[in-house]
Amino acid sequence: MKQKLSITDHSRDIAGLKYIYPVISRRAGGLSIGINVNINNACNWRCVYCQVPGLIRGAAPDIDLQLLERELRFFLKQVLGGHFFDQFNVPEELQVIKDIAISGNGEPTSLKQFDKVIELIGEVASEMGVFPESHFVLITNGSLINQPNVQAGIKALNHYQGKVWFKLDSATEHGRKLINDTNQSIEKTLNNLKVSVNLCETIIQTCILDYLDKEDAQAERKAYIELLMNIKKQKLLLKKVMLYTLARPSFQPEADKIKKINAEELKQFAGQIRDLGYFEVSVSL
């Protein structure tokens, strides 16, 4: 029986490669080619919904750039030649590369060679005709955007018409500690968000969970709307918000305490954001 990709299986080793993994992405709407630079399962945050087993605190290890290039060229040839789609029984309507996404098993911008990885992927994908038809995406918690090598990488991402998907799960310090296990202040997050917006097209991505009690949940939504109103007031060129909820099980200790949010509740919150008259909102259930 052929293997089959689905939105509930984002296995990093399904293609048998070290840095490259394919997924069917809800938010991208088709085949996403993932780049996993955090092969040590290390991240500077610890989100309660994280699906990485054996997650540890830390940074990405040094990457073998030559191996990454060989794997990327090999995999793109398999996809462009149709062999990959046949091997993994991908439906015909999904047989297109929606994006190449730097994500993986931790915070990718913690990689020392982050800017070099962006340049390498951009050059190879452009040479092989994948860019600019397909998107180039960085999925990040945004906590390290103040670092020069990260900013250099995001500038390179912009050169290839890429986008930053900036994690913002909470607009309160209580919520960020509870959901993301980070002490980074909202002020620093907002400053990093501004830097990102000025360097490259940026989209906010927010995971909404059934995890907080009713009073805390209401306070979180209120603070989130107020933060977006502040973004609107400052006229930041940040016009899209992606809301999503759980699709795969968490591997964190809180796994049995978190649940997928009710669809109607998520859609109602999306409506509140649209009512601000500034943001496009997408919802992934």
On whether residue 266 sits in a domain, the answer given is: yes
Q: Is the residue at 13 inside a domain?
A: no
Distance CA 185, CA 125 (A): 36
At 60, list the tokens: 């990405």
Q: Is residue 145 part of a domain?
A: yes
Beta bridge partners of 201: 163
pLDDT at 10: 42
Residue 174 identity: H
pLDDT for the residue 3: 53
Task: Give the per-residue pLDDT at 189.
Answer: 94
- Please state the pTM of the whole predicted model: 0.91
Asked if residue 136 is part of any domain, the answer here is: yes
**Residue 245, in any domain of the structure:** yes
The enclosing domain of 69 has a CATH number of: 3.20.20.70
Tell me, yes or no, whether 9 lies in a domain. no
**CA pair distance 23, 94, nearest whole angstrom:** 11
The answer to whether residue 10 sits within a structural domain is no
How many domains in the chain?
1
Q: What range does the domain containing 165 cover?
A: 20-284
Using DSSP's 3-state secondary structure scheme, residue 199 falls into helix
- DSSP secondary-structure letter at 73? H
145, two tokens: 């955007």
How would you label 93-132 residue by residue, b for 16+ Cβ within 10 Å and e otherwise? eeeebbbbbbbbbbbbbbbebbbbbbbbbbebbeeeebbe
CA angle 265, 266, 272 (to 5 degrees): 90
d(CA 258, CA 250): 9
Q: What are the mean pLDDT values of the chain's consecutive 10-residue runs (285 residues total)?
A: 46 73 72 93 95 94 97 93 82 85 94 98 97 95 96 98 96 93 93 96 94 84 96 92 90 91 93 96 89
Residue 11 within a domain: no
